[in-house]
Amino acid sequence: MRQRAYVKMGVIFFFALACNAARVPKQAPIDLLIVNAHVVTMNPRQPRAEALAIAGDRILWVGDTEEAKQRYSDTTPLDLGGATVIPGIIDAHTHLLPLGESLIKINLKDLPSESAIVERVRQETNHTPPGHWILGWGWDEGKWAADYPTHAALSAATPDHPVFLTGLHGFAGWANAKALETAGITRVTKDPPKGEIVRDRNGAPTGILTNHAQELVAKHLPKLTLEQVKRAIERAAEECARHGLTSVHEAQVSRIMIQAYRELVREGRVAVRISVMIDGADRALLDEWLARGPEIDAHHRLTIRSVKLFADGALGSRGAALLEPYSDEPSTRGLLTTPGDAVYDVTRRALERGFQVATHAIGDAANRQVLDAYERALRETKAKDARLRIEHAQVVALEDVPRFAQLGVIASMQPAHCTSDMPWAEKRVGPSRIRGAYAWQTLLKSGAHLPLSSDFPGETLNPFHGIYAALTRQDPEGKPEGGWRPEERLTLDEALRGYTAEAAFAELEERDKGSLEAGKLADFLVLSADITKVSPKEMLELRPRRTYVGGKLVFQASP
Ligand SMILES: [Zn+2]
């Protein structure tokens, strides 16, 4: 007690001295001093600044250039010549491993037609021994759902190799005859639960396998080793840093992935910070983590505090669960993939153990079922500030919109899903339900938290393309004119907040991340242009010149 009083008096004395001696007290040298920048802090108490002082992995001070030079006169400053600085982008829904794998697999993403894909795969047979798998990724199963390709042309071009081409969003796979043969899929094979072997008029498999039917082939693929998983994640994380992401929320991770992240972090090989959503479908893994409790390392490199569940499928393949039948397919309402009781049960156990739950819900029936399950679990556990999330919240019944704010449920949404789906989304749900679809502004006005994300590799990981989609609701060519349902567009401040402060809130890290202010982690970007001044078109060209994570330069563009 006595000692504390002395310390207190000493502090007062020191400040009195410092204030008398000079207007700006000089500070000890620091690790990095940024000056002459246009800093967009995303801190409402100090929205703009010119200088950042960084010590270790944290921001020590934020202010103007002149004061910075006086305070830290022993540190050589980095003069940015007026360049714009923003907080590091936090992508709230990502998949590093498939991104890394796609960097290794054949990339089919930008190939325009079936014949182009078949030709690309055929080239691969030239340097792949017969009998060895050829794996590709990135044909758009949403866009092609109305008219799926078949294995015919693919099989003719690749008679000696099993081929499996995964869709852009992971909801369908395309196999050739050799792969179907290897997996033992014939006309008598029954559809597995929650999946379909697409068949022709005569009942023969066409080569397209949707949802869980993909596993019939996937289980015959050679398994990735831990070292391959690590390499894929490392590659993907470098790609993130290159695009200005400094943190990602990994939306569904397996046991081997957790082991890979841990080792990569320990070995200093992963460029960005990772928050993990444990795959709730793996009961053994889930039980193990619920028994153990959350894990956050001292430097906020790896956070394991969230559980991922799936309530339904996707809208494009009509797997999203709707309250009423699909407008363009009255025989189906889609499919609930996890019963409400199971969502409730996992949520209750997770809340009791200090975990957050994030559930994939696309259709209005899935969203309602998850809100009901969350409501019950919140009531029974009396959990405070639980930060339960719904991933996508894509089609929400208008009467359910206020429940997000009322229950404190976070709507974790992806601007690019809207602009990818807008050509056909209204056909699926009709003119009335579309009012609660991709309804960012409606949800924001209702008081819901709205972190934004890419859901890469299904969509590009470039966050400036996501911001462009959020601002315009147009495709990169500027179509449709004026934007699709433009009343749901976001402002630049709302979009940036979604990729910074709101995303930090969604991972319970808002004390450490999401804005540039003293005490927070020094994660920030130096941009190629002023994000507050660029036109939407120029937003597509915006790039990070430098990416810093914890005060360390992790990416620098070549001049
Ligand atoms: Zn996802």
Q: How confident is the model at residue 12 (pLDDT cuts 50, 70, 90)?
A: very low
Q: How confident is the model at residue 216 (pLDDT cuts 50, 70, 90)?
A: very high
Round the average pLDDT of the chain to a whole number and report it: 93
Whether residue 515 contacts residue 212, with contact meaning beta carbons closer than 8 Å, is answered with no
- Angle (deg, nearest 10), helices 283-292 and 340-352: 30
Q: How confident is the model at residue 224 (pLDDT cuts 50, 70, 90)?
A: confident
Q: Calculate how far, in angstroms, residue 455's C-alpha sits from the geometric centre of ligand 1.
A: 5
Q: Calculate how far, in angstroms, residue 276's C-alpha sits from the geometric centre of ligand 1.
A: 12
Instruction: Give the pLDDT confidence score for residue 457 in this predicted structure.
Output: 87
| Residue 20 pLDDT > 90 | no
Q: Calculate how far, in angstroms, residue 6's C-alpha sits from the geometric centre of ligand 1.
A: 55
Residue type, 23: R
Q: Calculate how far, in angstroms, residue 160's C-alpha sits from the geometric centre of ligand 1.
A: 34
Q: Calculate how far, in angstroms, residue 534's C-alpha sits from the geometric centre of ligand 1.
A: 30
Q: Calculate how far, in angstroms, residue 85's C-alpha sits from the geometric centre of ligand 1.
A: 29
Cα angle value 210/234/459 (rounded, 5°)? 40
Instruction: Give the pLDDT confidence score for residue 170 in this predicted structure.
Output: 83
**Over pLDDT 70: what percentage of the chain?**
96
Q: Calculate how far, in angstroms, residue 436's C-alpha sits from the geometric centre of ligand 1.
A: 20
Q: Calculate how far, in angstroms, residue 114's C-alpha sits from the geometric centre of ligand 1.
A: 25
Number of alpha helices (DSSP H) and beta strands (DSSP E) in the chain: 20, 24
Instruction: Give the pLDDT confidence score for residue 4 in this predicted structure.
Output: 43
Q: How confident is the model at residue 23 (pLDDT cuts 50, 70, 90)?
A: low
Q: Calculate how far, in angstroms, residue 94's C-alpha sits from the geometric centre of ligand 1.
A: 6
Q: Calculate how far, in angstroms, residue 129's C-alpha sits from the geometric centre of ligand 1.
A: 34
Instruction: Give the pLDDT confidence score for residue 17 in this predicted structure.
Output: 42
Q: Calculate how far, in angstroms, residue 22's C-alpha sits from the geometric centre of ligand 1.
A: 55
> Count of CB atoms within 10 A of residue 358's CB?
26
Q: Calculate how far, in angstroms, residue 359's C-alpha sits from the geometric centre of ligand 1.
A: 10
Q: Calculate how far, in angstroms, residue 208's C-alpha sits from the geometric centre of ligand 1.
A: 21
Q: Calculate how far, in angstroms, residue 512's C-alpha sits from the geometric centre of ligand 1.
A: 25
Q: Calculate how far, in angstroms, residue 406's C-alpha sits from the geometric centre of ligand 1.
A: 25
Q: Calculate how far, in angstroms, residue 391's C-alpha sits from the geometric centre of ligand 1.
A: 8
Instruction: Give the pLDDT confidence score for residue 471 in this predicted structure.
Output: 98
Q: Calculate how far, in angstroms, residue 538's C-alpha sits from the geometric centre of ligand 1.
A: 28
pTM to 2 decimal places: 0.83
* Per-residue pLDDT tens digits for 422-477: 999 999 999 999 999 999 999 999 999 999 999 998 889 999 999 999 999 999 99
Q: Calculate how far, in angstroms, residue 317's C-alpha sits from the geometric centre of ligand 1.
A: 15
Burial of 518 (0-12, 13-18, 19+ CB in 10 A): middle
Residue 461 in tokens: 């990981």
* Per-residue pLDDT tens digits for 185-202: 999 999 998 899 999 999
